Amino acid sequence: MGTLVEAGLSAAKAAPPNGPPPAGFASLPTMLPEGPGDAHQNAAQPCFLDSEKPPTDAENKPCPKVPQPAFNGRQSYYNSGFLPEGKTFSVKLADDITAGQYHYYCNLHGSEMSGTITVKAKGEAIPSQADVNTTGAAQRDDIVNKLLPLYENAKKGQGVVGAKNLAGFGAEGAGIIDEFIPPVIDAKVGEKVTWAVVGPHTISFGADPSLQNFLSVAPDGSVHLNPKSMGPSGGPGVTPAESTGPPPSGPPKLGRVTDGGKYDGTGFKSSGFVPPGAPPFPGYSLTFTKAGTYNYVCLIHPKMGGVVKVT
């Protein structure tokens, strides 16, 4: 959050969808590189600035290390840094903060993942936790109700033309599903199984659980991408989508498929990280050479896993 974020976020929200981000937003730090490379330290490490601009992605250096101040609404940039799963972040509001709305967003996921803190004057009533929970549940149900029919259709193979199996799915205006669809794939020995990769995912078999920490904080506070999580293993990695621009009209299609080779259930076999792009979506295929039940995961999304049953 901070005044630079207020300006950038409102510009991003006013900009047409699928276009390039407006300048005010594009100049804010982003946690991940566009292509290969390491995490950006300007975005991934905590940063508390009164009036300065944070270092740019190109400079890629952390902000000066200072104790976390209270948030007064006037700071230029106020960033938790990368928060691993389960970590919490608290913000104390300064005594002299002006009542009003303050916006924040995630510099890993972008302007789509944002929220608002409404600060009321002392003595003014604020909603009870029960009221907030009710509002939150209604908002959640609204999102889920839009996504459920898409998920059901995708399970029937109606998500991406030319692909029965999906790594992630989403639709304009409805949101994103970080799941392997269908959750269980039945295949025959010698059969080539193909996934369309929709969104930033990996398709990874035999992965050490430590690889699911694809971003980690080093003892010195620097944040790094794990190259083993991000890169392909045991064969070629998926070639990213050809386009990142606005999606073409009509149903999304499967594009170029990378053949990841054969898998017999042993060793670490991974598509590597596939950055998000516009359809046609890239594909990844594997040929299963031995009967068995093979669990696989996405190394980016901790709860995203599936099963291939080969008979």
Residues that bind Cu ion (CB under 5 A): 201, 298, 300-301, 304
Phi, psi of 9 (to 5 degrees): -65, -45
Minimum CB separation from Cu ion for residue 199, in Å?
Answer: 7
Residue 203 CB, shortest distance to Cu ion, in Å, is 9
In the complex with Cu ion, the residue whose CB is nearer, 200 or 255, is 200
User: For residues 8 and 279, which CB has a smaller minimum distance to Cu ion in the complex?
Assistant: 279
CB 137 to Cu ion: min, Å: 25
- Nearer CB in complex with Cu ion: 31/47: 31
Which residue in 75, 72, 91 sits closest to 83, CA to CA? 91
CB of 270 to Cu ion, least distance (A): 12
Nearest to Cu ion of 55, 305 (CB atom): 305
Of 39 and 298, nearer to Cu ion (C-beta) is 298
Looking at the Cβ atoms of 199 and 234, the one nearer to Cu ion is: 199
Q: Which residue is nearest to Cu ion (CB)?
A: 298
Minimum distance from residue 168 beta carbon to Cu ion (Å): 6
Least distance in Å: CB of 65 to Cu ion?
Answer: 32
Select 57 or 178, whichever has its Cβ closest to Cu ion: 178
Whole-number minimum distance, CB 116 to Cu ion, in Å? 27
